[in-house]
Chains A and B, each alone.
Chain A
Amino acid sequence: MGLLCSKNRHYTDADTEENAQAAEIERRIEQETKAEKHIQKLLLLGAGESGKSTIFKQIKLLFQTGFDEAELKSYVSVIDANIYQAIKILYDGSKEFAQSVDSSKYVLSGENKVIGEKLSDIGSRFDYPRLNRELAEEIGYLWKDPAIQETYARGNELQVPDCTHYFMENLQRLSDANYVPTKEDVLYARVRTTGVVEIQFSPVGENKKSGEVYRLFDVGGQRNERRKWIHLFEGVTAVIFCAAINEYDQTLFEDEQKNRMMETKELFDWVLKQPCFEKTSFMLFLNKFDIFETKVLTVPLNVCEWFKDYQPVSTGKQEIEHAYKYIKKKFEELYFQSTAPDRVDRVFKVYRTTALDQKVVKKTFKLVDETLRRRNLFEAGLL
């Protein structure tokens, strides 16, 4: 009897404990689901090299704890890789151009040719050596060779990364034995994003407890990456679509026959028509304005088919503004063409950005945040 009794008690004890645990788990799940509802999902979309990851890094720097020393150091190998890849592309490019008309421009000096071959070889390996003083000097000579500079001027025909100039001008610093990348170096560092990366943050403004929680997703922009996008499309508060406006004379990394701006146009159109985005706000970041500014005065916009009816009106700053306005108008037209009447009440705003400039990104995000908060209030009927 006693045995029985004690056995029973043992079971009921276990039961209650299990019940308590189950209840606790239930409660936790409920809490988290509730919390999830208040988290606003932001998606960074856009073609490859449009600046999505740079924006992502900027948000990390602005609203999270930024990069610690270990993280900064982790970028050294990335930066090295960028440098080797860039110089290889330029050297190989010069050889290609040397075979066409006007070839003498692209022929290097004897010494530099040797350097070029050596670096090209390094650049084709999987493992790159750490950049040291000697290599940095050699790369520097090669970079300054007139043939390479001529090749760089035609960089739009090759796949020269945007960070090339910046890193080439800083070779000495970057090759130092104790080099720790600065925040700026990290922003310039280019890694092709694959898969999806996310961070969660709360923008801290004047009134510290703004209460908004955002979850920002960064994706790969190249074509083969885009099939992963669809998994993220549910319940998105806002899409931040990045379009690099300097790319109107460049071709895709993954398809050298296709103009980058045309690709962006088609991509934007496709995204706008996605069924899940019926009520999603669209923030269009017309990015890389800094590069655009210099390019637009020398390379006419109408080399891109989409911009073929563009007429320049003046020079200098006025012309830059005029060209920018034209592009903005084109994107607006595209937006309204691709937006069915039932979606016309979506928020759609266009921002001029230079993702590398932290101040610009901070101010821009402040406006994005304000718009989204107002939208929330509006939908809750409080505005």
Chain B
Amino acid sequence: MPMYQPSTRREADMKLDSQVLDLETAVKDGILGGGCGVISTGFASQKLDLKIMIEELESIDVPTVFICPISLEPMQDPVTLCTGQTYERSNILKWFSLGRCTCPTTMQELWDDSVTPNKTLQQLIFSWFSHKYLAMKKRSEDVQGRVKEILENLKKVKGQARVQALKELRQVVQTHGTVKKTVVENGGVALISSLLGPFTTHAVGSEVIGVLVNLNLDSNSKSDLLQPAKISLMVDILNEGSIETKINCTKLIRVLMEGNDFASENVASLSLLVGLLRLVKDKKHQNGVLAGLSLLKVICSHESIRNSFVNVGAVPQLVELMPELNNECLELVLYLLELLSNIPEGRLALKDCPNTIPNVVKLLMKASESCMQFALSILWTICKFAPEECASLALDAGLAAKLLLVIQSGCNPVLKQRSAELLKLCSLNYTATIFISKCNLTRTIQ
């Protein structure tokens, strides 16, 4: 929405600033009169069309002179006060009904409370919107026509031509959201999905995935894409592609898996898990990290996968990641580690990884409450599993002080309780004095 400033508006009134309303183009395009046949009859029909057009042209830059100063929305029924300022009728009447007798922008007391409909401005607004609306519709049709052409083309071409066509399709779908429906309605999904198979080249496959990830897929399309050969191809492409391709593959696989309980079994191969771990370790691309972790969360909801996940060395790799993550990613990592801590192999891996305890302890009190919940759960599990080793490591890492802070803080009671339990667990092996000395507490807390 254009920022409204009273002084600028005054000037705009005088100068009809070219950035606001391009007079030259307005005359040429017939907005200011004559040619445009859309300036039709009937006040009522005008109003109806205008409302719809304004809605559909939501993101367009509307000239400031058309905007009501009160609502900052385009005016459909502009009225002018005696001060010469124009407002949307309903808005200014509401202003008056609040008992105010001033002009909202000039703050002048009104000497005349009549509101005059500004027919000229109304015609102008209607004209301008009609023009923009028609242009948009035409562009949209053009783009839709182009998409249909590309789809027809794809049925025939092979090799480099196919790659080019897919590239163009992807670009159009990414820039013009309206064509997504066209692609789906014209059998586009089935067509490009059929291009995925055991012998699909990377070039073709990555483009197809790039298109599919932007579309709304129905359940039939999803089932089709969940075929082993296609999933296998997606995993290969994920492992070999550019960061953009990797993210697209990750997102698409996630879409396919959501709401489908059986999918995990078929989809989560070791290659996929290894590929996702590689993706989340890539610090240079944070959106890749997030996409990868989100998919891992979906995959690990299946118990059988968790074992495999630990076997490919997930635990130490995730632990290493922790210090440099933003909150959203950190929560996902902790969620995963907590899940893994519930299986024997995972527990063992967490205990064996030297950085687990230091990294987890460090983030207590720094991260969100849900992060802390996972963190405490993880610490609890490993300390329970190997109390002698872990308790002392944890205390050395400053766990006790942190737990005491949590207990005294304003966190939710569940967290406080868990902290207390954990503190107790860690202290079990020590007498009170040794424990306190081990805690390195500051005087006040002591």
Chain A 221-232 interface mask (CB, 8 Å, partner B; 1/0): 000000000000
Of B160, B198, B201, B269, the contact of A332 (CB 8 Å cutoff): B269
Contact, CB under 8 Å: A336 / B159: no
Chain A 354-383 interface mask (CB, 8 Å, partner B; 1/0): 000000000110110011001000000001
Knowing A370-B201, A371-B202, the reply to whether A206 touches B159 (Cβ < 8 A) is: yes
Interface flag for B240 (CB, 8 Å): yes
Distance in angstroms between the alpha carbons of A108 and B198 in the assembled complex: 46
Distance in angstroms between the alpha carbons of A106 and B268 in the assembled complex: 49
Distance in angstroms between the alpha carbons of A344 and B281 in the assembled complex: 13
Knowing A341-B313, A371-B202, the reply to whether A349 touches B228 (Cβ < 8 A) is: no
Of B228, B240, B274, the contact of A321 (CB 8 Å cutoff): B228
Which residues of chain A are near B159, meaning CB under 8 Å? Answer: 206
B276 smallest CB distance to A (angstroms): 13
Interface flag for A27 (CB, 8 Å): no
Which residues of chain A are near B270, meaning CB under 8 Å? Answer: 329, 332-333, 335-336
Q: What's the interface size class on A, roughly?
A: 20 to 34
Q: Which residue of B lies closest to A332 (CB)?
A: B270
Q: Which residue of B lies closest to A362 (CB)?
A: B199
Of A345, A352, A370, the contact of B202 (CB 8 Å cutoff): A370
Interface flag for B17 (CB, 8 Å): no
Which residues of chain B are near A345, meaning CB under 8 Å? Answer: 278
Of A337, A341, A347, the contact of B240 (CB 8 Å cutoff): A347
Contact, CB under 8 Å: B240 / A371: yes
A313 smallest CB distance to B (angstroms): 12
B241 smallest CB distance to A (angstroms): 9
Interface flag for A201 (CB, 8 Å): no
Contact, CB under 8 Å: A336 / B160: no
Contact, CB under 8 Å: A336 / B274: yes
Distance in angstroms between the alpha carbons of A338 and B227 in the assembled complex: 28
Interface flag for B242 (CB, 8 Å): yes
Contacting B at CB under 8 A, from A235-251, are none
Contact, CB under 8 Å: A352 / B198: yes
Which residues of chain A are near B160, meaning CB under 8 Å? Answer: 206-207
Distance in angstroms between the alpha carbons of A380 and B192 in the assembled complex: 32
A181 smallest CB distance to B (angstroms): 29
Distance in angstroms between the alpha carbons of A344 and B271 in the assembled complex: 10
Contact, CB under 8 Å: A325 / B228: yes
Distance in angstroms between the alpha carbons of A221 and B269 in the assembled complex: 30
Which residues of chain A are near B29, meaning CB under 8 Å? Answer: none
Distance in angstroms between the alpha carbons of A352 and B203 in the assembled complex: 20
Interface flag for B325 (CB, 8 Å): no
Interface flag for B73 (CB, 8 Å): no
Contact, CB under 8 Å: A332 / B242: no
A38 smallest CB distance to B (angstroms): 22
Contact, CB under 8 Å: A336 / B201: no
Which residues of chain B are near A307, meaning CB under 8 Å? Answer: none
Q: Which residue of B lies closest to A325 (CB)?
A: B228
Contact, CB under 8 Å: B202 / A336: no
Contacting A at CB under 8 A, from B187-206, are 198-199, 201-203
Which residues of chain B are near A321, meaning CB under 8 Å? Answer: 228
Contact, CB under 8 Å: A329 / B199: no
Chain B 241-280 interface mask (CB, 8 Å, partner A; 1/0): 0100000000000000000000000000111001000100
Distance in angstroms between the alpha carbons of A336 and B274 in the assembled complex: 9
Interface flag for A253 (CB, 8 Å): no
Interface flag for B236 (CB, 8 Å): yes
Which residues of chain A are near B201, meaning CB under 8 Å? Answer: 366-367, 370
Interface flag for A348 (CB, 8 Å): yes
Distance in angstroms between the alpha carbons of A357 and B202 in the assembled complex: 22
Which residues of chain B are near A335, meaning CB under 8 Å? Answer: 270
Of A329, A337, A352, A363, the contact of B269 (CB 8 Å cutoff): A329
Distance in angstroms between the alpha carbons of A206 and B313 in the assembled complex: 41
A364 smallest CB distance to B (angstroms): 7
Distance in angstroms between the alpha carbons of A370 and B200 in the assembled complex: 11
Distance in angstroms between the alpha carbons of A352 and B199 in the assembled complex: 10
Which residues of chain A are near B199, meaning CB under 8 Å? Answer: 363-364, 366-367
The 20 sampled A-B contact pairs (Cβ below 8 Å) are A207-B160, A321-B228, A335-B270, A336-B274, A336-B312, A341-B313, A344-B278, A347-B240, A349-B236, A350-B232, A352-B198, A364-B199, A366-B199, A367-B199, A367-B201, A370-B201, A370-B203, A371-B240, A374-B240, A383-B242
- What 4 A-B pairs come out closest when comparing CB atoms? A363-B199, A332-B270, A206-B159, A336-B270
Given known contacts A351-B198, A371-B202, what 13 new A-B pairs fall within 8 Å (CB)? A332-B269, A332-B270, A335-B270, A336-B270, A336-B312, A348-B271, A349-B236, A350-B232, A352-B198, A363-B199, A370-B201, A370-B202, A371-B240
Give chain B's interface residues, CB within 8 Å of chain A: 159-160, 198-199, 201-203, 228, 232, 236, 240, 242, 269-271, 274, 278, 311-313
